[in-house]
Amino acid sequence: MQLKGVCIKFPRIALVSVRISLIVINSICTRDWFAACSHFVNLYNVLFGANARDRLFKVPISPMVQVIYNCDDFVVVAKPISISVHCDDNIQGFTALLSAQLSVHLYVVHRLDKVTSGLMIFAKSAQAAAEFGVLFEKHKIQKYYLAISQTKPRKKQGTVKGDMKKSRRSAWMLQNSQKNPAITRFLSQYIDGLRLFLLKPETGKTHQLRVALKSLGSAIYGDQIYNSKGSELQGESDASPDRCYLHAWQLVFCFRGQNFTFRNDPDQGHLFTSDSIAMALEQWADPDQLSWSKRA
């Protein structure tokens, strides 16, 4: 800050503390208690040191991550919204949080965006991580996502296919070319004035699903990057979205000769937790048996 020719430099710790404090306040305002608690812990560590919390509290105050499945080779967990997989500007990432909870070193084998909730796999050894890497590379792990939009798509089901190109800031855009295309198949149904999507990505590009739905004219509700009308919801014109409505719902794969199927219904966001959505999810309970568009 410049004041009458005098340059005042704020310590980095002060800037980081202010930034985290604002995130905590925003999380409380949006009732995202997991993020508020997690970022409060990060603020405490920045101010008083990484081990100060342990000296002051006899039990950790970090929120517990929901573990869906845990074995010697890998763990499947439910990632909440508003936390990055890795460290984000000195804010503890989801991987570190989970590693501390399980007291084991974890290997990241795939990622979810900060705004996305749902199922994630973490390997417990370099060998297991390498094997999962091959499965993902060969598209042997089937992923199913849920999304909600407040606008009608150009078509109710089908395939979105095209190359991805970096756009302004953090955004990506879909191209007409198909040299190395992102491929997303989708189904949808109309529920209570909203459009519920079941998404089946066959590639794993950055922001692939979010860009795919935007290209259909149905950007995800609450997506601050791709939905400029994110706060316009019928009957709630003055309300801000309580989350970005994208959730990693099911995982299906075979690891070392054993078949696995995991499902995690969303529990964050009032739109995701309505009775109407719950009924729709049961209709889609076995996605592999649904009528998807043909492979391109």
Mean pLDDT for 144-158 is: 96
C-alpha distances in Å from residue 103, one per residue of 97, 134, 186, 202:
10, 26, 38, 33
113 as an active site residue: the answer is: yes
Contact criterion met (CB below 8 Å) for 147 and 161: no
- Taking every pair of Cα atoms in the chain, the longest distance, rounded to a whole number of angstroms, is 72
Token pair listed for 123 = 């390997």
Say what the pTM is: 0.79
Question: In which band, very low, low, confident or very high, does the pLDDT at 283 lie, cut at 50, 70 and 90?
Answer: very high
Rounded-to-10 torsion of CA 82, 121, 98, 95: -60
Contact criterion met (CB below 8 Å) for 115 and 244: yes
C-alpha distances in Å from residue 281, one per residue of 108, 120, 198, 272:
28, 19, 9, 10
**What pLDDT is stored for residue 32 in this prediction?**
58
**What pLDDT is stored for residue 234 in this prediction?**
58
**What pLDDT is stored for residue 43 in this prediction?**
55
Highest average pLDDT, of 48-52, 176-180, 196-200, 233-237, comes from: 196-200
Residues 229-261 pLDDT 10s:
655 565 555 568 999 999 999 999 999 999 999
Q: Is 183 in a helix, a strand, or coil?
A: strand
Instruction: Give the range among 2-6, 82-86, 122-126, 152-156 with minimum mean pLDDT.
Output: 2-6
- Could you tell me which residue, 119 or 9, shows the higher pLDDT? 119
Name the helix (H) or strand (E) containing 27. Answer: helix 12-29
Residues 128-137 pLDDT 10s:
999 999 999 9
Question: In which band, very low, low, confident or very high, does the pLDDT at 1 lie, cut at 50, 70 and 90?
Answer: very low
Rounded Cα–Cα distance for residues 159 and 177 (Å): 15
Q: Where are the domains of the chain?
A: 1-59, 64-287
Rounded Cα–Cα distance for residues 209 and 213 (Å): 6
Catalytic pick from 73, 113, 242, 275? Answer: 113
Mean pLDDT for 208-235 is: 86
- CB neighbour list of residue 121: distance below 8 Å, 6 or more residues apart: 74, 75, 76, 109, 110, 132, 141, 251
**What pLDDT is stored for residue 167 in this prediction?**
84
Instruction: Give the range among 17-26, 111-120, 165-174, 178-187 with minimum mean pLDDT.
Output: 17-26
- CB neighbour list of residue 126: distance below 8 Å, 6 or more residues apart: 107
Mean pLDDT for 174-186 is: 95
**What pLDDT is stored for residue 92 in this prediction?**
76
Q: Which amino acid appears at position 67 of this protein?
A: V
Smallest CA-to-CA distance from 150 within 235, 269, 230, 236 is with 230
Rounded Cα–Cα distance for residues 72 and 62 (Å): 24
Instruction: Give the range among 61-75, 177-191, 215-229, 271-285 with minimum mean pLDDT.
Output: 61-75
- Could you tell me which residue, 2 or 169, shows the higher pLDDT? 169
Residues 38-93 pLDDT 10s:
555 555 555 555 444 433 333 334 468 999 999 999 999 999 999 999 876 566 78
Q: What average pLDDT is seen over the chain?
A: 84
Mean pLDDT for 99-110 is: 95
Examine the pLDDT at 199 and tell me if it is beyond 60: yes
What's the topology of domain 64-287?
Pseudouridine synthase (3.30.2350)
The string of DSSP codes covering 54-113 is HHH-SS--SPPPEEEEE-SSEEEEEEPSS--SS-BTTBPPHHHHHHHHHTS--EE-S---
Taking each helix axis from N to C end, the angle separating 33-48 and 12-29, rounded to the nearest 10 degrees, works out to 160
